[in-house]
């Protein structure tokens, strides 16, 4: 390599080099212990939820008059990709999803624009609408969820304790926000009998007016004296339930006590709001969200200490449960990867010592902790935490970072064996291989550029692979050319190396092993076209086998021990009914030996305790149980057992739709196999979706085929006789408000207690809130009389839509399915997609069937990577041209890159491992590793030819000389992957790299020389 010889500089400045080794190692150790720890990398969640309420409106009104207006306006927002909405009685929920490639820094501005546009249309929404309420914190992860339960304490008591705990936890460093989960609002109910009110001639409006007048807070003025200002305060506000009972009513000239007319009680919200249960007991949850840049493990320790102090002061009978503990998960995850890293280091050391000897192996061994230390130091500088992706990248890099050190030290040993002194031998590696090594290092790093520069959610999630591997590779080159020569100079013994070489005569490569390898190589050169043809045949066969036999996936399932059970009741089911079914499932879990603990949620899903959790919001007919199992085997056993119970006729769950699933890695997709049916007409969409579901149910690889919405719900329309109503002085609005009051209650005023505002609610007594009593409920008239509802309105039972889901402003029904065997979702999805083409041809204009699920998300990631592939190829070709200065030699090196597919396909088929996004990253990295070895060998051949050797001898001699370092570096990379094969997430990548590198290394030593000889028409001298 031209320019300053860094190896020579290192040997002439040994004290400086020693100082740098000590300082950089210390910096790396300190950085390692100060690096942030997290379960997953920092990830921008590009979804906002917008909730709007319109009490009294039916689904169709909400869809057309509310959701449509919101979606139409929000479609104008920059970076918006998909608008997905759910319209149901009284409520609209719109999910704003930004494009995968939205720059991270643009996301806050996009959310600001959404808020601005919502403000712009707020005045155009129908009267009575509450909201819209946007929530861009939808993707925040709760790193800890605690729960309070109490024997002898109701949820109101627990809520008061939880409020104080939340206040205390907010003071803990790095806590961004504390949220309460499963809170049930308190109410003061005025239960009234319609007959009793009528007998007294009292109307709800009169009760409300009396309460509001007494409970009002109004200014009473102040007095200024010569020195002070004195405020006047008027008493009368309610400070107890008894004060409310004693409220005086003046009706028809008579004074009545409120408690004599209605029953006054204090209780929880009825019907209940979405709730939380822990181990079958009602609970209040406390979720803690970490501030940006915080250390998960450090915050976990602080929270544990804070909760220990708080628990000691709680009333006897209140218990604190840890429902989700991400710090503990991260600690175990980091510990697991540390073990994998230690195993990989040990494997690489064993390879070095066994193949290079004690002293030479020690030189390589000492370079490993130095490279890792500097890498940790650089990770700290660039703000890269230790998390699932960066830790895996370190293990991947470990198999690569010793390559340069092995090449450099092996060159030193060869030259010392040839009689060179230590200084010359140590500096020769730099002049002969430093530039090819640098080129190879940059090529390997360049292979990861699609991960680093592609714009997708999956690539953002895995970005630290590119960052960490690139840092480690560049650092390994610097260590190989600066520190390894210094270590070799100090540790290698020239006399022993020369003595060892003399055992083999003058030529150190004249050993039985090398003679056999040379003979094999010469045979390959003489039969070059057979070798090339055989390799191409194997390559074509591997492509065919890959397409036909290797299954595809998006991301592997998570290795976490939690299982989720989604519980869906028919649309229109009440929260009470959902709670009953959840309680039945809790009964199963309490008796199961595989269960460590569980928490359940009624009317909502679990808060986001895991980045990729598919959170579902606000559905009375939905519940979810989060089950922590005892180990990985217990998780899989329990999943199978629950699925058998839920699907069997004896299980008693045939009337509901429970779904058991594991946590997912990568962007959340929910059901793995999904097909969407879209169109303008809801009934037509429903018919097409039924046909799609029939085809999916016929597929033997699928189970649990369902719809995301489909059923209609029961409703009663009150057909008002407007003529009669007018005569009585009653409007439709009066009837609606009165019915709302009798059945669900109307807030008349608020009872103030500390920081709580408790609604005082008038409603009908329990007997009045029955379906068969509707017709007889009293409606107050303008004259003060009461008439039954049946005199002014007819009750007509009807069926109406429970919910309408839309996608980009079109009603869209998704047909969902889970896998019944080990077949991958992508395989089945593509089979079904082809079968659905016949149905697509018959669809009316404007209707579509699209494939969703994991296949759609995987395609986004692959498309983003493919978009950056040309950039990668240009970078790689440029590096090769700079090194080789020859288009022909560059093409030869490039032709070796895809040959790893032979080994990749074989390994995936033998070990029955699917090929997904993570494995795809491994294949891209593999291409870089192959080209790295190829460019060093081709450049060595070029150097020998430049020195005057014949092309034949240059090919044979260079390949023989490069054989040992190529095999050693490949062995180190392959064996370092072994610990990763046991990881659920990294296993497919490890198998891909190992299988590909085994075959590609052999082809580098045999196929590449034959290809070079054929290309340049080299004949034996």
Rounded CA gap, 466 and 481, in Å?
A: 23
Residues 149, 121 share a domain:
no
Specify which of 208-212, 552-556, 632-636 reaches the highest per-range mean pLDDT.
632-636
- Mean pLDDT, residues 400-415 taken together: 78
Q: What is the CATH number of the domain that holds 149?
A: 3.30.70.1320
CATH number at residue 363: 1.20.1640.10
- Tell me: do 314 and 438 sit in the same domain: no
Per-position DSSP letters for 373-434, written without gaps between them: HHHHHHHHHHT--BSHHHHHHHHHHHHHHHHHHHHHHHHHHHHHHTT--HHHHHHHHHHHHH
Asked whether residue 334 is assigned to any structural domain, the reply reads no
Q: Tell me the pLDDT tens digit for each residue of 472-490.
A: 989 988 998 888 888 888 8
Q: What's the domain range around 447?
A: 1-34+357-507
55 and 169 share a domain? no
Same domain assignment for residues 992 and 920: yes
Are 830 and 547 a contacting pair, CB within 8 Å? Answer: no
What's the rounded mean pLDDT across residues 718-735? 87
The whole-number pLDDT of residue 975 equals 83
The average confidence (pLDDT) of the chain is 86
Look at residue 986 in the predicted model and tell me its pLDDT: 81
Taking 70 as the threshold, does the pLDDT of residue 492 lie above it?
A: yes
Contacts of 227 (CB under 8 A, 6+ apart): none
Q: Domain boundary residue among 625, 648, 663? A: 663
Judged against a pLDDT cut of 70, whether residue 508 lies above it is answered with no
Kindly give, in sequence order, each residue whose CB lies less than 8 Å from that of residue 579, ignoring residues fewer than 6 positions away.
272, 275, 602, 623
- Backbone angles phi and psi of 659, in degrees to 5: -135, 120
Q: How confident is the model at residue 408 (pLDDT cuts 50, 70, 90)?
A: confident
Q: For 421, list phi and psi in degrees, rounded to 5.
A: -80, 170
Residue 85 falls within a domain, yes or no?
A: yes
Question: What confidence score (pLDDT) does residue 557 get?
Answer: 75
| Residue 708 counted as domain residue | no
Which range (177-191, 425-439, 642-656) has the least confidence?
A: 425-439
Do 591 and 486 lie in a common domain? Answer: no
pLDDT score recorded for residue 506: 56
List CB contacts of 562: < 8 A, sequence separation 6 or more.
610, 626, 627, 628, 629, 635, 662, 663
Q: Is 852 part of any domain?
A: no
Q: Is residue 591 part of a domain?
A: yes
The CATH number of whichever domain residue 639 belongs to comes to 3.30.70.1430
The pLDDT assigned to 730 comes to: 87
pLDDT digits (tens, 9 = 90+) for 25-69: 999 999 998 888 887 787 788 889 999 999 889 899 999 999 999
Q: What is the pLDDT of residues 863-905, one digit of tens each?
A: 777 888 888 888 888 988 888 888 999 999 999 888 889 999 9
- Quote the number of domains for the chain: 6
Provide the 3-class DSSP secondary structure of residue 47.
Answer: strand
- Domain match, 539 and 464 both: no
pLDDT of 153 higher than 60: yes
Residue 576 and residue 442 in one domain: no
Q: Which two tokens stand for residue 683?
A: 């009934």
Same domain, 301 and 159: yes
Q: Please tell me the predicted confidence (pLDDT) of residue 125.
A: 92
Q: Is residue 747 part of a domain?
A: yes
The pLDDT tens digits of the residues spanning 838-870 come to 999 999 998 999 998 877 877 777 777 788 888
Cis peptide before 132 (omega within 30 of 0): yes
Q: What is the pLDDT of residues 563-580, one digit of tens each?
A: 999 999 988 888 999 999
pLDDT recorded at residue 463 = 85
Q: Tell me the C-alpha distance between 412 and 434, whole Å.
A: 13
Give 36's DSSP letter: -
**Strand pairing report for 746-753 and 756-764:** antiparallel
**Binning pLDDT at 50, 70 and 90, where does residue 502 land?**
low
Please check whether residues 725 and 797 belong to one and the same domain.
yes
749 lies in a domain? yes
320 and 176 housed in the same domain: yes
Which helix (DSSP H) or strand (DSSP E) does residue 308 occupy? helix 296-312
337 occurs within a structural domain: no
For 236-249, how does the pLDDT look when each residue is reduced to its tens digit (9 = 90+)?
788 888 888 888 88
pLDDT at 1 over 60: no
Domain boundary among 639, 663, 687: 663
């Amino acid at each position: 390599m031209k320019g300053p010889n860094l190896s020579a500089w290192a040997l002439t400045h040994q004290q400086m080099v020693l100082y740098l080794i000590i300082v950089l190692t210390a910096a790396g150790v300190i950085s390692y212990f100060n690096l942030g720890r997290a379960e997953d990398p920092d990830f921008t969640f590009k979804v906002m939820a917008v909730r709007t309420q319109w009490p009294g409106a039916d689904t169709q009104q909400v869809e057309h008059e509310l959701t449509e207006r919101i979606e139409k306006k929000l479609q104008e927002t920059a970076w918006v990709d998909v608008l997905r909405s759910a319209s149901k009685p009284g409520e609209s929920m719109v999910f704003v999803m930004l494009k995968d490639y939205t720059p991270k820094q643009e996301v806050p501005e996009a959310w600001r624009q959404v808020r601005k546009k919502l403000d712009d249309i707020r005045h155009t929404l129908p009267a009575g609408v509450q909201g819209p309420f946007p929530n861009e914190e939808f993707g925040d992860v709760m790193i800890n969820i605690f729960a309070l339960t109490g024997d002898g304490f109701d949820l109101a008591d627990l809520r008061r304790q939880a409020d104080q705990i939340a206040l205390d936890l907010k003071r803990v460093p790095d806590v961004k926000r504390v949220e309460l989960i499963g809170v049930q609002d308190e109410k003061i109910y005025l239960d009234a009998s319609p007959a009793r009110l009528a007998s007294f001639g009292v109307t709800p409006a009169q009760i409300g007016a009396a309460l509001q007048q007494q409970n009002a807070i109004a200014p009473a003025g102040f007095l200024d004296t010569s020195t002070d200002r004195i405020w006047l305060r008027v008493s009368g506000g309610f400070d107890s339930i008894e004060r409310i009972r004693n409220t005086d009513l003046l009706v028809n000239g008579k004074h009545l006590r409120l408690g004599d007319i209605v029953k006054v009680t204090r209780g929880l919200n009825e019907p209940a709001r979405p709730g939380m249960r822990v181990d079958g007991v009602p609970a209040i949850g406390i979720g803690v969200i970490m501030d940006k840049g915080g250390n998960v493990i450090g915050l976990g320790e602080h929270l544990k200490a804070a909760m220990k102090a708080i628990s000691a002061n709680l009333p006897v009978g209140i218990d604190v449960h840890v429902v989700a503990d991400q710090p503990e998960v991260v600690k175990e995850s980091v510990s697991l990867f540390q073990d994998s890293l230690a195993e990989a280091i040990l494997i690489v050391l064993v390879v070095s010592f066994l193949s290079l000897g004690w002293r030479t192996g020690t030189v390589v061994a000492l370079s490993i902790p130095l490279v890792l230390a500097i890498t940790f130091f650089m990770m700290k500088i660039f703000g890269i935490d230790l998390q699932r992706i960066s830790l895996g990248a370190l293990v991947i890099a470990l198999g690569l970072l010793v390559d340069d050190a092995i090449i450099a030290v092996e060159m030193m040993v060869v030259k010392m064996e040839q009689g060179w002194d230590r200084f010359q031998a140590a500096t020769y590696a730099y002049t002969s291989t430093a530039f090819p090594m640098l080129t190879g290092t940059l090529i390997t790093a360049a292979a990861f550029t699609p991960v680093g520069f592609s714009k997708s959610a999956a690539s953002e999630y895995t970005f630290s692979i590119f960052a960490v591997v690139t840092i480690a590779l560049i650092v390994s080159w610097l260590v190989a050319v600066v520190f390894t020569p210094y270590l070799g100079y100090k540790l290698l013994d020239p006399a022993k190396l020369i003595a060892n070489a003399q055992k083999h005569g003058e030529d150190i490569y004249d050993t039985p092993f090398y003679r056999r390898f040379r003979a094999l190589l010469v045979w390959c050169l003489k039969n070059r076209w057979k070798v090339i043809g055989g390799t191409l045949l194997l390559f074509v066969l591997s492509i065919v086998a890959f397409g036909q036999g290797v299954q595809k996936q998006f991301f592997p399932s998570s290795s976490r021990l939690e299982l989720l059970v989604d519980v869906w009741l028919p649309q229109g089911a009440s929260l009470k009914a959902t709670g009953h079914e959840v309680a039945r499932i809790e009964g199963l879990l309490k008796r199961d030996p595989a269960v460590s603990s569980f928490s359940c949620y009624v009317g909502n899903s679990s808060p986001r305790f895991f980045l990729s959790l598919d959170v579902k919001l606000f559905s009375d007919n939905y519940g979810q149980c989060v089950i922590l199992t005892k180990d990985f085997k217990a998780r899989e056993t329990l999943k199978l057992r629950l699925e058998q119970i839920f699907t069997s006729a004896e299980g008693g769950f045939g009337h509901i739709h429970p779904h058991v699933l594991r946590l997912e890695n990568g962007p959340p997709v929910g059901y793995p196999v999904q097909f969407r049916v879209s169109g303008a007409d809801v009934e037509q969409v429903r018919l097409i979706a039924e046909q799609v579901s029939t085809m999916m149910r016929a597929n033997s690889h699928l189970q649990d085929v369902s719809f995301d919405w489909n059923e209609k719900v029961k409703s009663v329309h009150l057909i008002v006789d407007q003529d009669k109503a007018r005569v009585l002085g009653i409007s439709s609005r009066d009837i609606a408000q009165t019915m709302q009051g009798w059945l669900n209650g109307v807030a008349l005023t608020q009872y103030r207690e500390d920081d709580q505002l408790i609604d005082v609610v008038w409603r009908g007594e329990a007997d009045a809130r029955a379906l068969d009593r509707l017709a007889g409920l009293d409606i107050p008239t303008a004259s003060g009389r009461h008439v039954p509802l049946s005199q002014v309105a007819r009750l007509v039972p009807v069926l109406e839509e429970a919910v309408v889901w839309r996608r980009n402003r079109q009603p869209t029904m998704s047909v969902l399915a889970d896998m019944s065997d080990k077949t991958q979702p992508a395989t089945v999805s593509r089979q079904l997609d082809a079968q659905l083409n016949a149905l697509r041809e018959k669809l009316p204009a404007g209707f579509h069937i699209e494939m969703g699920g994991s296949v759609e998300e995987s395609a986004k990631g692959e498309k983003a990577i493919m978009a950056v592939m040309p950039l990668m190829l240009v970078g790689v070709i440029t590096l090769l041209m700079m090194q080789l200065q020859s288009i022909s030699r560059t093409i030869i090196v490039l032709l070796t890159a895809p040959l790893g597919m032979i080994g990749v396909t074989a390994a995936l088929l033998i070990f029955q491992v699917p090929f997904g996004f993570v494995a795809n990253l491994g294949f891209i990295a593999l291409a870089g590793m192959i080209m790295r070895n190829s460019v060093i060998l081709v450049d060595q051949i070029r150097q020998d030819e430049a020195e005057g050797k014949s092309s034949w001898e240059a090919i044979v001699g260079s390949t023989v000389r490069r054989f040992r370092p190529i095999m050693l570096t490949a062995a180190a990379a392959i064996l370092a992957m072994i610990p990763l094969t046991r990881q659920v997430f990294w296993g497919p990548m490890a198998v891909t790299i190992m299988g590909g590198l085994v075959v590609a290394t052999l082809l580098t030593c045999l196929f590449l020389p034959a290809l070079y000889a054929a290309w340049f028409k080299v004949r034996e001298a």
